[in-house]
Structure 1
Amino acid sequence: MTSRSVRLVMFVPVVVTLLTAAAVGAAIVVQDHRETARMARADEVAEAFLSDVGMFRGDVARVIARAREAEPAELRRVLASAVADPPELGEPPAGAERSETYASATATARTFLAPYRRLDRQLRRADVALTFVGAAREALETRATDYVGFGPIGDSAAVRTRLVPAFVEARDDFADVRVPKGQRALAATVREALQYVIDRAGALADSIEVGRSYSFSYTQEFTAAADAVDDYATTVEGDLAEALNAVTASG
């Protein structure tokens, strides 16, 4: 083999190696370009979703703000209609696993409906609770003087035919109202305050009929019951206001 042949044999592997290296480099560049394009597409999908969520939040906030003073049941219907068609992120496109924007969109997709679900729960609770509160307050507004007047009572008939039936009716009407979850003790407090008057009024009528002096006051019982009802109402209204604010703040 001549020296020229030796040089040629040695040169050929080098050329092949260089060509192979160049081909691998080109493949890496193409692959990197594809990954970049996929990630850009995932970013676009995520950004479009996040934009839709922002618009959705604003639209819902304005609707709820306009209806804020409605009764809980009506406001709940308004909310259900407003959030009936929320944005959806859909299946992740290729490249999503490398996109920070898509990761943010995924996190948003999991949580952005939470304030509306919370508001729905609070409205459902308030619908029952505030009806209960209204009924309790109405029952506790019953006054003995509306039926027997002020001052000494000399006729037991007025007590038995007007005063007692009025408080019995107030007690029974309140008993027909749905008691909110966890508020059986409060309901019992209201009923017991009404029953206290019924029992004492019966004793008063008995005393009148035998000519014995008798008097009673129910201020303490009614005040304690009314304060407990007010405390419960304040809690319910506060929780509802907080849930409403969380939704309307986006408007």
Structure 2
Amino acid sequence: MTDGRGIGTGLDDEGYFIREGSLERVSARFAPVVAELGARLAQHFGPDRLHSSYLYGSIPRGTAVAGVSDLDALLALRDEPTDDDRAAARAVEAGLDADFWQINGAELLLFGVDRLLSEPERHDLAWFVACLCTPLDGPDLAARLPRYRPTSLLARETNGDLFRSLPGLRERAAAAATEAERTRLTRGVARRLVRTGFTLVMPRWGGWTSDLAQSAEVFGHYYPAHAEQMRSAARAARTPEAYPGLLDELLAGLAPWLAEEYLAVHGAKAPRP
């Protein structure tokens, strides 16, 4: 088994994260979606509410697949999001998903600027903005943030809370009444487990990747006994409908082991308010 280094390690020569994505990497097929996102954000929020906006995920990385990939964006609001802000975000999500066949759903994350720049979020949301988000509009918050390395602290503060989430994820799986609900949950759980598995070994590997297949291979290099489970999770994260029984298997097997191992290696993520 290789250590998964076939497509680079995402760091510069000094060992700092290279920021993922750029607007130049957005393919022609997705460019109209991104342009319309910007227009609708301006319409629903405006400069009094919206400080800056960012893309993240496969579209700004240039790896999105039309009809399969979703549109992911983060909005930094001038203060904490309100119920009206959340309703506006849901309206933008639904409208874009209905109007553009290129995307399989849209998700807008909402945070206040003060929270994004706060000390508790320095190695979580702030790192996410500085390293994994592509500026779309407004002043880039990354200019006010430090550079980051793939440390155990970063691992702990990004994904060291799986143990807290497991009871709720099991409840959601038990309550899922339709195949569509289980498919969505399978995709979300699979993505989270692959991300968590990768960051578990990230400091030892000494690099970064957002590619789920490579993440599973990197993880498997250090934990070969669980490698095939993680590969299955990576496949399900891409095509969850093809793995109808995997959700329960992941929540009963890989997830609790991973949560326990994460605590042993990196410790628990600091609770947030």
User: What TM-score results when the alignment is normalised by the length of structure 1?
Assistant: 0.24
User: What TM-score results when the alignment is normalised by the length of structure 2?
Assistant: 0.22
Q: Name the structure with the higher helix share.
A: 1
Q: Name the structure with the higher strand share.
A: 2
